[in-house]
Amino acid sequence: MSNVNSILSILAATYPEAHCELNFSTPFELLIATMLSAQATDKKVNQVTERLFRDYKTPEQFLTLSLEEMEKAIKELGLYHNKAKNILATCRILVESYGGEVPGSMEALTQLPGVGRKTANVVLSNAFHIPAMAVDTHVLRVSNRLGLASGTNPDLIEKQLRDTIPRSQWIQAHHWLIWHGRRICAARNPKCPDCPLSPLCPSRLLPA
């Protein structure tokens, strides 16, 4: 546990400003942005949602779009056919079952079309400030390399991280791991010589 605490302390000192890099102003906007983020960069999603959220801010307003119009609005992003279909189906459920509001529980969120645990955890932690540990590709890769978790199943990685990291730090630890993965611990050519965690990292690449 002391090693975990040391890792978290270094990450906190390295990324004091770490935060969700998807732009949103309401839980609904974050839900949509996170659904759009699969196989797309946050930067690209933000470009699309900047236009989208200008005219469509609620589930009710999204439902004025046809499937073809929804697809056209998000066509720059990968998997846009499925994303458009799931977004409109989710909006319909939000309107019909939740008064147009986004529910604040894992069980309710994961019943929505196209919403898995990762998306639900992002919404719970960033929109509702409920401790949660979302596992994306960066979190999975970095936590494996640092020895905080092991394996390739995101749900199992989530459980391991929840067991390893203090609950009070789940939200920030998620951001720290993502920022570290994007800035230093890349999938290819990680910047191990520049990494403040190198002394604690069992996966560090030593200079030849």
**Catalytic annotation, pick one of 72, 136, 155, 191:** 136
Query: CB–CB of 185/141 below 8 Å?
Result: yes
* 118 annotated active-site: yes
C-alpha to C-alpha distance for 90 and 191, rounded to whole angstroms? 40
Q: What is the 8-class DSSP label of residue 187?
A: S
C-alpha to C-alpha distance for 40 and 63, rounded to whole angstroms? 23
What is the 3-state composition of the chain as percent helix, strand, coil, each rounded to the nearest 5? 60, 0, 40
* 159 annotated active-site: no
**Catalytic annotation, pick one of 118, 155, 163, 191:** 118
C-alpha to C-alpha distance for 56 and 61, rounded to whole angstroms? 5
Residue positions annotated with a catalytic role: 118, 136
